[in-house]
Structure formats: structure tokens, C-alpha cells
Chains A and B, each alone.
Chain A
């Protein structure tokens, strides 16, 4: 199939290319990314097909699917691409677009984990693993998940019962606020 600006939805492709700093159009579908991808077997569209769908204007299928959320960010694809397409960065860009659109994907567990992780930084400054696991279990409705692991980790000192906030948590909040402000003014993606 011949690619044209119409068939590929050039507006969306340009958006992804601007966010990722890499070319979607340069991919010639050798499939090396999918061959080395440890997560390909969990995806409905392996990495090379994600790029192909973008080239064919079918970006809605990509954003609605679970493939982008099943990428582990191992960067094997970006390392091995013969055309220097940074697919790992494309995955980041697609996740951001899906995330900003409030997650059309049904893959909610990965998104929930990301949300809680980032919230922890904003609230405490550092990760608080016990809270991360406990809140994830409650919010994902998996109350029994890793329940037997908890006491073993606690007894080895691998989970902390209590966690204090960083002294500079106000400065950290300012970073979040300034980024939000830049976005409101259209000065940052």
C-alpha cells in the first residue's frame, strides 16, 4: 500500500514525532523490534505493527489497545533498529497521548500503577513501597495479591511500615505546578 499524508493521518504522526523526537515514517517494517521484544507475546499488536498502524492512519486502534501499556521500556527495540527509529520513545509518546486523553485503553492496571507511583512522588518525594502495593491492591480490587509476600518482606526489613515526607516536598510540588502552568499556557507538551 502506498503511504500518503491522507492515509497515514499526518497530523497525528507529526504529533508523535514531535513528542518522541524520532521518525515514524522512516520504519520499513523489517520486524527486528518485534523479534527482540520480550513483551511482544503479551501484546495484541507487536511493536513493528504498532508503527505500521500509525503509518496507515489507524492510531485509534493503537491508543485503544493494550500494546503500548505492555511495553516494558527495556529499549531493546531502539538499540537494534537498523533505521534508528527510537521505538521506545514512540511508545512513551503514545502512552502520553492516551494518558492525556484519559486512557481510552482498557489496560487499567498498568495505568493505575503509574498513577500511584507518580502520586507518591508528589506527596512524599520518594517511593513508599508498602503504600504503593497496598493502595494498588485496594484500587484494583485484588485484595489478596501478594498478601503472603508482605510479612516475609516486612520481617526482612524490605518494607517500611512508616515513611516520612521529604523536607523539600514543597519544592517538588512547585515542579509539578510549574509543569501544569506551562501546559496551560501551551508552552510545553
Chain B
């Protein structure tokens, strides 16, 4: 289908993880958009946003890498759809700096040898589903309601913070994930650790940090009666899913808690074929839970 025939069309920035460790996020995003007739066109030659390591030691580099990506995105029509919470945060933060700091804007323009690209609206997939597509329409698109599934919606750090930047939802008490999940029929639990940090990129340098912080998150979700966790960030997923077995061994506990990406769960509900959700890539096998709830 040509993009112009679809109601909603976006430029799509997958980010590095979605081509490797988070490939199920990419596969399921494309699956959901296909079913909902949302057009996605990948930004040509996009590059790494710099993520946390770049802004940690070199803010100008971080801003310049994101500005270059925004420039490349200008070549594709539509708002810019981003799914990784870290890429989303960096791209939005860059626009915020370029708009409010003339000195930095000029430095970035020199670095990328182009005018600061400020025209593109950067949107997270949650925002596209909840606001652009709309919760009512999403509820109507459901072919297999996720009835009886108890989900802990985990926001982590970068979907809502820092204040005034992502403009996705309330910075301390967001509900957008729960809203989307409720629209597709799932039950969302109330729990304490939905905005706590998972340890993020310490997974490479100091994995002990991740084990401690992610254990607290898994423990909190379990205590709230959740059967699975929902995330919107590849790093959160890596820490909670890929390192879950190590956490269980290290803390002598048992979770067996599948960790889904938002698009996997929405995809399941709106009828994306199970083979197009990347369920087989998850480290904690979700099939027993989904089969038990008659969702597969």
C-alpha cells in the first residue's frame, strides 16, 4: 500500500537496538501499524542518537547527532515516530535546546553544516496510538481483547522526564500506558516502581547495579499481582527480560515474569499474527501465560 492512501503517515526512526537486541519491538511495531493502517517510512541513513553515553560526556556531540537525524527525517513526510524511550528523549531534548539556546543552536548548525531542523514533531508510538489514532478507535480495532491479563505498566525514566521536554504525559503520575492497555482489554495493576530506574546502560559497565535495581522492579510488580510487565524501552526490556534469570539466581527468588513491548501486546489484541510479534525472541517465555489466558 502506498503511504499516501493511509490516514496517518509517519517518518520512522527505529534506533540501533531495534535492529538487533530489540528486534521484536521493531517487528511488532511494523505489525501493529500494518493492521491499523498507519504508514511508516524509515528515515534514510539514520544514525545513532548518541543515547546516554554521548550526552554524559559531550553534550554538543549529542545534540549534533540528534540534529543530523532530525535533518534526515525532514526528507520523509509526516511527524517522526520513535519507539525507543531513550531515542525519543534525546531527540525531544535536542529540539528543546535548539529552540531555547541560541548559542548551542549556532554551534550545532556549524557541526552539521545545515540549519537547525526544528520543523519535525517527534512522537512516541504510545502517543500515536493514544492520541493520533485515538483510544476509542483503538478499542474498536480489537479482535482479541486481553481480558484477564494483569499487567504492570513500566514507564522507566525517559518516557516522561525531564519535565517540559517529552510532553508525553504527566511527569510523576502518567497514565498513557495504562490507557492504551485498558483500551485493548487488559487489566493494569497499581504498583510502586513504575517510574524507577532499571539501571539502564550500566548493563555493560556495571551489571551489578542493574541486578539490584531491576530486582526491586520485578519484586514490586510481583507483589502487586502482575503476571507480566509492559515496557516501551529496549534497555528496560534488556534489563528486566534478558537479565531476569541472573537476577533470580542472584537474589534466590523466582519471578518467571514475561516482559512485553507495548506493540507486542497491542499487536496481540488487534490481530497481528503471533508469528509477527517476535514472541520467540523473548528470554522469559511468554507462551504458557498467553496460552493459559487463551490469548494464543
Bound-complex Cα distance A132 to B65 (A): 19
- Whether B163 and A78, one on each chain, are in contact in the complex, defined by CB atoms closer than 8 angstroms, is yes
Q: Does A125 sit within 8 A of B, measured CB to CB? A: yes
Find chain A residues with CB under 8 A from B19 CB: 126, 160
Which one of A26-34, A53-61, A107-115 is at the B interface? A107-115
- Whether B283 and A74, one on each chain, are in contact in the complex, defined by CB atoms closer than 8 angstroms, is no
Q: Does A9 sit within 8 A of B, measured CB to CB? A: no
Q: Does B51 sit within 8 A of A, measured CB to CB? A: yes
Report A51-86 residues with CB < 8 Å from chain B CB: 70, 72-76, 78-79, 86
A165 to chain B, nearest CB (A): 11
Find chain A residues with CB under 8 A from B161 CB: 74-76, 78-79
- Which of B23, B50, B111, B205 is close to A179, meaning CB atoms less than 8 Å apart? B111
- Whether A79 and B163, one on each chain, are in contact in the complex, defined by CB atoms closer than 8 angstroms, is yes
Find chain B residues with CB under 8 A from A23 CB: none
Nearest residue, chain B, Cβ from A99: B57
- Which of A129, A172, A179, A189 is close to B47, meaning CB atoms less than 8 Å apart? A172
Q: Does A44 sit within 8 A of B, measured CB to CB? A: no
Report A123-170 residues with CB < 8 Å from chain B CB: 125-127, 129-130, 132-133, 136, 145-146, 149, 152-153, 156-160, 166-168
Find chain B residues with CB under 8 A from A172 CB: 47, 65, 68
Given A72-B157, A166-B47, A182 and B110 contact (CB-CB distance below 8 Å): yes
Which residue of A86, A118, A168 has the most chain B CB atoms within 10 A of its CB atom? A118
Which one of B125-133, B178-186, B206-214 is at the A interface? B206-214
Interface size class of B (residues with CB under 8 A): 35 or more
What 0/1 readout, one digit per residue, does chain B (155-173) give for beta carbons within 8 Å of chain A? 0011001110000000110
Find chain A residues with CB under 8 A from B256 CB: none
Bound-complex Cα distance A92 to B266 (A): 36
B62 to chain A, nearest CB (A): 9
Q: Does A38 sit within 8 A of B, measured CB to CB? A: yes
- Which of A75, A99, A176, A188 is close to B157, meaning CB atoms less than 8 Å apart? A75
Q: Does A8 sit within 8 A of B, measured CB to CB? A: no
What 0/1 readout, one digit per residue, does chain A (87-131) give for beta carbons within 8 Å of chain B? 010001001100100000000011011100110110001110110
Bound-complex Cα distance A112 to B52 (A): 14
Find chain A residues with CB under 8 A from B172 CB: 79
For chain A, the count of residues having a C-beta within 8 Å of the partner chain is: 60
Nearest residue, chain B, Cβ from A168: B45
Report B28-62 residues with CB < 8 Å from chain A CB: 45-48, 50-61
What 0/1 readout, one digit per residue, does chain A (165-189) give for beta carbons within 8 Å of chain B? 0111001101110110010000111
Find chain A residues with CB under 8 A from B202 CB: 72, 110
Find chain B residues with CB under 8 A from A79 CB: 161-163, 171-172
B116 to chain A, nearest CB (A): 14
Q: Does A10 sit within 8 A of B, measured CB to CB? A: no
Which residue of A99, A117, A146, A178 has the most chain B CB atoms within 10 A of its CB atom? A117
Q: Does B20 sit within 8 A of A, measured CB to CB? A: yes
Q: Does B220 sit within 8 A of A, measured CB to CB? A: no
Find chain B residues with CB under 8 A from A126 CB: 16, 19, 46-48
Find chain A residues with CB under 8 A from B206 CB: 42, 70, 109-110
Find chain A residues with CB under 8 A from B171 CB: 79
- Whether A112 and B205, one on each chain, are in contact in the complex, defined by CB atoms closer than 8 angstroms, is yes
- Whether B162 and A158, one on each chain, are in contact in the complex, defined by CB atoms closer than 8 angstroms, is no
Interface CB pairs A-B, < 8 A, 16: A76-B197, A92-B55, A92-B56, A110-B205, A118-B54, A118-B58, A145-B207, A158-B20, A160-B19, A166-B47, A171-B68, A175-B61, A175-B112, A179-B61, A188-B107, A188-B110
Q: A126-B46, A129-B16, A187-B110 are in contact. List 12 more A-B contacts (CB 8 A).
A: A38-B197, A39-B197, A75-B162, A110-B206, A127-B16, A160-B20, A172-B65, A174-B113, A175-B111, A176-B61, A178-B110, A187-B107
Q: Which residues does B use to contact A, with CB under 8 Å?
A: 16-17, 19-23, 45-48, 50-61, 64-65, 68, 101, 107, 110-113, 157-158, 161-163, 171-172, 195-197, 199-202, 204-207, 209, 213, 242, 280-283
In the A-B complex, the 10 residue pairs with the closest CB atoms: A127-B16, A74-B157, A117-B53, A113-B205, A75-B161, A74-B197, A114-B53, A38-B197, A99-B57, A109-B205
